[in-house]
Amino acid sequence: MRVCVVGTGYVGLVTGACLAKVGHQVQCVDVRPEVVEAINAGRSPIVEPGLDDILKAGVAEGHFRASLSLQEGMEGAEIVLVAVGTPTTKGDIDLRYVREAAEGIGRTLAGSSAYRVVTVKSTVVPGTTDGLVRTSLETTSGRKAGQFGLCMNPEFLREGCAVEDFLEPDRIVIGQWDERSGDTLAKMYSPFSCPVVRTGLRNAELIKYTANALLASMISFSNQIAMICESLDGVDVDEVFTGVHLDRRLSPVVDGRRVHPGLLAYLKAGAGYGGSCFPKDVLALRQFAQECGVPAPLLEAVMAVNRSRASHLADLVEEPLGGAEGKKVAVLGLTFKPFTDDLRESPALAAVEELLRRGAVVRAYDPEVPPGRTDPHLPSGLELFPNAIDAVREAQAVVLATAWPEFLGLDWGAVCAAMPRPVIVDGRNALKEVQWPHGALYRPIGRRTEV
């Protein structure tokens, strides 16, 4: 099938490249010339494991290319996927890019009688696809839904695992305006073997928000339990959750063997959730609930607990130092999770900003954030270093903020030796097996430590 993907962020680029890999003819459309040029040269503009090889192969084989022209991208396309950003602005979902995409697609539809299925992959609140998107398409094309197809197809891609998640999906959700629309989109997914949910447009939209809000809630719940653990002597949050995880409803026994689902990774204490999805999606769902006249105290609490994590990490640093003013603090890891270069809503950066606010001198190292990188998410006053040892040298405290494998394998004896009196705050509870040298103060999450 011929597929056009509008937008080449994480969702659009991974979707397009993976669809090309399974045999479709794909064109991506973006307004940024440098991104289009990079893609057509076989270079991924984002960091995502496995994406470079798939992208290069797709371009080399002629199955995948990018264009600045929406009309060119849609030429001959049976399906047009809308994969543009939906940020939040003052708590509300910002649909300007979705509207612009829909209007542009509609104008192209006006010049053709061909049947195309316009499919929203962007995360949008219920009522958007059959409201704003349909209205924009009908107004600019002069055609009615049914003369073109309309679907909502949420993505379930984890940054750092997005290629694997797309090629080996656990489910595919097809929200459809009518049977013809859904049948056409289902044909695109015929190479994949997994459960397919065929449902209405609004159900599909809410499935995405519900999935992300549930996972975010599990993270905040775990961090709330961690705070209780830290108030008690002899209690460790990881041991508490080890016992919780063994509930058969969470870790079922299948054929006599215990199965540990990936879902349990979200029932784990740490620095909080971040990234391009959870923060904005929980906020947008809360706002949408309020607009529906539905109180959302649980979502409020999920966000409040998550906001508190930055201050909590700063407290763990500040207590043994007798204050943060003028103290050198090294932060290891800045991206919101390993195996990505994404800094959006990163808990690590939230901790950096809080430490800076308290007067600390903050230096940092991240494998994907080299010195000289310019990014609007990086706070002023933060000094970047080319390696971990340089970042920690003469620091009075170290915060492990992102659990990159590189940090787990560090020579922590050498790290401590580079510090006057080592204080290590483990924001990810990833260093509990380290044998700390005499005199080092190790402070994990969810366990009381004497300072």
Among all residues, which ones are annotated catalytic?
277
Maximal CA-CA distance, the chain: 76
**Closest to 211 in 3D by CA, of 136, 111, 303, 282:** 282
Estimate the share of the chain in helix, then strand, then coil, as percent rounded to the nearest 5: 40, 15, 40
User: Three-state DSSP class for 201?
Assistant: helix
Q: Answer whether 425's CB lies under 8 Å from 270's CB.
A: no
Q: Answer whether 316's CB lies under 8 Å from 425's CB.
A: yes
Tokens of 239: 């041991």
Q: What sign does the CA torsion over 356, 358, 363, 368 have?
A: negative
**DSSP β-ladder status, 172-176 and 92-93:** unpaired
Q: Which residues pair with 26 in a beta bridge?
A: 3, 64
**DSSP β-ladder status, 423-426 and 441-444:** parallel
In sequence order, which residues have a C-beta less than 8 Å from that of residue 226 and are 6 or more positions away? 237, 269, 445, 446
| 3-state secondary structure string across 149-208 | EEEECCCCCCCCCHHHHHHCCCCEEEEECCHHHHHHHHHHCCCCCCCEEEECHHHHHHHH
State the Cα–Cα distance between residues 338 and 340, nearest whole angstrom: 6
State the Cα–Cα distance between residues 223 and 302, nearest whole angstrom: 10
Tokens of 416: 């401590």
End-to-end CA distance of the chain: 63
E strand or H helix at 205: helix 201-230
Q: How distant, in Å, are the alpha carbons of 29, 81, 277 from that of 7?
A: 6, 9, 16
Each as own residue / partner, the long-range contacts of residues 286-292 (CB below 8 Å, 24 or more positions apart, any chain) are 286/91, 287/88, 287/91, 287/92, 287/93, 288/93, 288/125, 288/126, 288/209
